[in-house]
Structure 1
Amino acid sequence: MSLLESRALRCPCDSGESYAECCGSYHTDRTTPPTAQLLMRSRYSAFAVGDSDYLLRTWHPSTRPATVDLDSTLRWIRLEVEHTERGGLFDGDGVVRFTAHYRDGAERGSQHETSRFVRFNRNWTYLDAIDGRSD
């Protein structure tokens, strides 16, 4: 995808911004998410655009797997952020509860998760899921 094409696409995180000006800026390392919620949104967008490198880069080293195998049959279609605790500019940890909706062929589903985030080397990282389920 060209830079011009990515600028025109709406960001998968449902911010209303273009991908290039929103999560795309995090994915290309131009900037880092300043809050846990923005990191979670950018990670959702990474799933949506197939950016496994970004997912690994933003995963805390203590829980990060060696690889991330993305399911190419899933199409992530909508994100709902339901609750955020801490995770702000001056916090060291945070929790974000969300529902991510997807399509798998003709089937629709959703992933509900409460995720924990912590700062590592001054940047927000995904630590783990406190709970999660798929419908």
Structure 2
Amino acid sequence: MTNPCPCGLPEPYAACCGRFHRGDQHAPTAELLMRSRYCAFAVGEPEYLLATWHPDTRPMRLRLDPAQEWTRLEILGRTGGTLLQNEGTVEFRAHYRYRGQGEAQYENSRFVREDGRWYYVGTV
């Protein structure tokens, strides 16, 4: 049996977030972009994170800490961000282990769709 995607959905990585990371498709909703970005942290895809970060708020570079192991994602809420909208938020808690210690990061992220693609803008 194949393990589910790190984003928390039941599909295997290749069929779930992997299709976005490979560039086969773009995430169709703000929530799926958020899940694929979490997954990019989990599997070590900084290029995908930068490519899906809005140019107005994107850092010049991004280095992922290999000591940080992302373990679980909880979606706490969402507003907008559907197939027919151009803005949305996703509230989540991302769990990780850092040097043996369990931690969690809470965030309410803002997303916008431009030219048919969703981008992470920042926190609300």
Report the number of matched residues: 124
Three-state SS of the structure 2 residue aligned to 1:25 is helix
Contact 1:101 1:108 in 2 (8 A): yes
Three-state SS of the structure 2 residue aligned to 1:32 is coil
**Correspondence for 1:117:** 111
Contact 1:87 1:93 in 2 (8 A): yes
81, 90, 110: which one pairs with 2:84?
Answer: 90
Distance in 1, Cα, partners of 2:26 & 2:3: 20
Structure 2 residue 5 is matched with structure 1 residue 11: yes
Distance in 2, Cα, partners of 1:75 & 1:26: 21
Aligned partner of 1:34: which letter?
P
For residues 53-72 of structure 1, the aligned pairs below 5 Å read 53-72=47-66
TM superposition shift of 1:120: 2.0
Three-state SS of the structure 2 residue aligned to 1:54 is helix
Contact 1:95 1:114 in 2 (8 A): yes
Distance in 2, Cα, partners of 1:62 & 1:92: 16
Q: Deviations over 1:66-94 (max 9, x none)?
A: 11111110000000000000000010100
Q: Structure 1: where are the runs of 5+ without partners?
A: 1-7, 131-135
65, 70, 73: which one pairs with 2:67?
Answer: 73
Distance in 2, Cα, partners of 1:125 & 1:117: 5
Q: What's the C-alpha RMSD, in Å, of the aligned pairs?
A: 1.2
Three-state SS of the structure 1 residue aligned to 2:37 is helix
Q: Structure 2: where are the runs of 5+ without partners?
A: none
TM-score (norm 1): 0.89
Which is bigger in relative contact order (C-alpha 8 A, separation at least 6)?
2
Percentage identity across aligned positions? 48
